[in-house]
Chains A and B, each alone.
Chain A
C-alpha cells in the first residue's frame, strides 16, 4: 500500500483511463479526517464498513438447502401478520 502524508487542503490524484479520482483532505480533528472525493462516472464511493456489512449479510443469506428454506418462506407467505 502506498502511504502519503498530506496537510489540510492538499489533495491526491489517482490518474486513470476513465478520468481522475481526486481525494482532498478537508479537515482533521481528534483522530478524525474529513476527506472530499471526486470520481468519474462508473465509480461508486462507499464506506468500507458498509461494503463489508453487505458482503456479510449476503453470505449469511446464501442458502445451500433450498428445500428447507422453501418451507420457511411458505409459512411466512401464509402468515396473517401485518
Chain B
C-alpha cells in the first residue's frame, strides 16, 4: 500500500457499470488505511479501506478469469506488479460500514481494478467496523 499517491484506474463498480474511469488517491495520507476512488466523469466517489486493518485473516481465492482480466494472459503477476485489495466503506452518521463480500482488487501497476463477489458467506456486505491499532 506504499507509494499510492494519485493514479488513474479503469474498472467497474457493481451497480455503476456506466462509469469506468477513476482517480485513485490517498487524501488521508499514505499511512491511513483509507483511500478514495473518485470517478472522473461524474461526481461519484467511494471511500475504500485496506481490509487488513479490520480483519487479520481476510482472505479469498480469485478465479482464473478475474486473474486474467486483472493481470493478463498468464494469470501470474510480474514480480514488479502491485496488487491491492480494498473494500468499499459506507459512512452512515458516525458509523462506518465495510463491504467485505465484494472487495475491489486493484492492479496498481496496470491501472485496473475489478470488484469481485466472493462465495464466502461469512463476509458481510455491510459490516460496522473500527480501525484496529497496529
- Residue ranges of A at the interface with B (Cβ–Cβ < 8 Å): 41-42, 44, 46, 50-51, 53-66, 69-70, 72-74, 76-77, 79-82
Contacts and interface: CB of A to CB of B under 8 A. Distances in A.
Interface residues of B, number: 39
Interface in B8-58: 13-16, 27-28, 32-34, 36, 38, 43-47
Nearest to B90: A61
A60 to B, nearest CB: 5
A51 B117 CA distance: 8
B34 A51 contact: no
Contacts of A66: 36, 38, 45
A61 B131 contact: no
Given A76-B131, A77-B131, A57 B125 contact: yes
Contacts of B14: 51, 54-55, 58
30 contacts: A41-B65, A42-B65, A44-B63, A50-B101, A51-B14, A51-B117, A53-B125, A54-B117, A55-B14, A55-B15, A57-B99, A57-B125, A57-B126, A58-B14, A58-B16, A61-B47, A61-B88, A61-B99, A63-B45, A70-B27, A72-B91, A72-B96, A73-B32, A73-B47, A76-B130, A76-B131, A77-B34, A77-B131, A79-B130, A82-B130
Contact of A57 (B63, B88, B91, B130): B88
Contacts, number: 98
Contacts of B32: 73, 77
Nearest to A82: B133
B15 A58 contact: yes
A70 B131 contact: no
Nearest to B13: A58
Contacts of B99: 54, 57-58, 61
Contacts of B36: 66
B34 A73 contact: yes
B65 to A, nearest CB: 4
B89 A61 contact: yes
